[in-house]
Amino acid sequence: MMATSQFGFSGFGRDCCMMATFQVGFSGFDWDCWRPNKFTDSEHQPCLKAAAVLTEGSKKYQLVTPNFQSDEQHMPKLRKCHVDVLDDLVYFGTSFAQSNPLISNIYHTYEEDQANYTSLRKHNIFDHVITLLRHNDVESFVQNVLTLEIEGLTDKAVALLNIIRYTWVSFHPTLKNGPLLVQNHERTYFYWECNKISPCCLKDRGLFRMCETQFTSRKYLDYRTSEYTNNSLKYNDALGYFRWLNNMEAIIVEASSTVHTIEDCLKLLVCGISSLRKEAILNKNSSIATFKKLKVFGLKSIQNQVALSELYMNNPTSWNFVEKRTATLPSSWDNRILLVKYLELTATIFDDICDTHHLLQKLMEENLGLDSTDSRSLKSMFEEQAHVRTS
């Protein structure tokens, strides 16, 4: 006679909460099926196994199928309740949420661009980058980097290559001197990585403020509504800004340990929206069409993972927040090939900042009436909203 034992079983997944108890025999057992709530028990619906939790005594053991989807480690994320509250205000195209098919397509296009190293290839330096990273002589690496010459590059590509040289030379002593331990401290990789990428972002260290820098855009906006208090002050781990173009805070950098990930992701949203709102007010005679191209970029560092995101206007009542590039930083010379994704991220933000510089100049000219446009202005958008509030 076959002996049996009682086990607790919890099938779970997104939008599903179901409990069941079943008999386990020594000769084997069958799992119950997991079905999302949106599925019916119709015979036409497939039976989907996703995960199971077995309890034995006071301990629980989770088993999942190979295709069970879960969040990536050390990536920016928000809770589902946050995403639900922001529905129709912020549309997400990220690893943790994709709000609609349109922004989902943008996100997946960026994924393909990263997989193909589009930014590096566009400047015709990808093959040279790979060749150098595969070179295993640690002693001659720096010399090879500094003497690298590539013919036929544009001036912009030459500037990017110089930034990549600086990045390589900066990483080299750290990788050469032994593995960097991944500790659960938000400053470990932030200090290592941000010192390398800051010259890339704005080309001049004087344009990149670091170490608990006060975010000013929100403060200026709060003056108008008399809501400014010390509690509304925001501090960022680093800020990249254009000193000669309204001091726009174009790059917001946050470093997080695992426990601060969600808070810092919310801070990227709040500060990014404030920065864009300030630019909209300062350039209210500019066209909406031009302003929608203006973006604020977020650099999120979580241990050895760095993610680049962009925030921009979708329409007068909503924003788009899209994850653009991700990279894992190497911890030793042996896994230096990981730098190729970091260099792709570097090339991407280099291009983005150049585009942002030109867009800010165009917005200023439109605001001054020097560049005529037939498109609807930001001022008309503000006036319509004011009329709605008073009516």
d(CA 305, CA 328): 5
Q: 243 falls in which pLDDT band (50, 70, 90)?
A: low
d(CA 236, CA 210): 8
Quick one: average pLDDT of 67-77? 69
Quote the pLDDT of residue 26: 36
Single-letter code of the amino acid located at 235: Y
**Cβ distance 94 to 111 under 8 Å?**
no
Q: Specify the pairing of strand 248-256 against strand 234-242.
A: antiparallel
Q: Please write down the long-range contacts of 308-313, taking CB distance under 8 Å and 24 or more positions apart.
A: 308/345, 308/348, 308/349, 309/76, 309/94, 309/268, 310/352, 311/268, 311/269, 311/272, 311/273, 311/276, 312/276, 313/276, 313/280, 313/288
d(CA 28, CA 290): 65
Quote the pLDDT of residue 63: 86
d(CA 331, CA 318): 40
**Cβ distance 83 to 97 under 8 Å?**
yes
Neighbours of 109 (CB within 10 A): 14
Quote the pLDDT of residue 386: 74
d(CA 45, CA 35): 9
Q: Pick from 38, 34, 29, 61: which is nearest to 50 by CA? A: 34
d(CA 97, CA 80): 8
Nearest 5°: the CA angle 81, 82, 83 is 95
Structure tokens at 349: 């933000």
Q: What sign has the CA pseudo-torsion 113, 119, 120, 123?
A: positive
Strand order in the sheet with 248-256: 90-93, 318-328, 305-315, 296-302, 248-256, 234-242, 208-215
DSSP letter for 331, please: S
Neighbours of 114 (CB within 10 A): 20
Q: For the segment 117-173, what is each residue's pLDDT rounded down to a tens digit?
A: 999 999 999 999 999 899 878 888 888 888 888 888 999 999 889 888 888 887 777
Q: 356 falls in which pLDDT band (50, 70, 90)?
A: very high
pTM: 0.77
Quick one: average pLDDT of 315-322? 95
- Cα 252 to its chain centre, rounded Å, is 11
d(CA 76, CA 237): 16
Quote the pLDDT of residue 318: 96
Single-letter code of the amino acid located at 179: P
d(CA 298, CA 261): 13
Q: 215 falls in which pLDDT band (50, 70, 90)?
A: low
Q: By percentage, how much of the chain surpasses pLDDT 70? A: 66
- Cα 304 to its chain centre, rounded Å, is 14
Q: For the segment 26-63, what is each residue's pLDDT rounded down to a tens digit?
A: 333 344 444 444 434 444 445 456 778 888 888 988 88
7 pLDDT exceeds 90? Answer: no
Quick one: average pLDDT of 311-338? 92
Neighbours of 48 (CB within 10 A): 15
Q: For the segment 330-351, what is each residue's pLDDT rounded down to a tens digit?
A: 878 888 899 999 999 999 998 9
Q: For the segment 280-308, what is each residue's pLDDT rounded down to a tens digit?
A: 999 999 999 999 999 999 988 887 788 99
- What residues are paired with 286 via a beta bridge? none
Quote the pLDDT of residue 3: 45
Summary mean pLDDT of the chain:
76
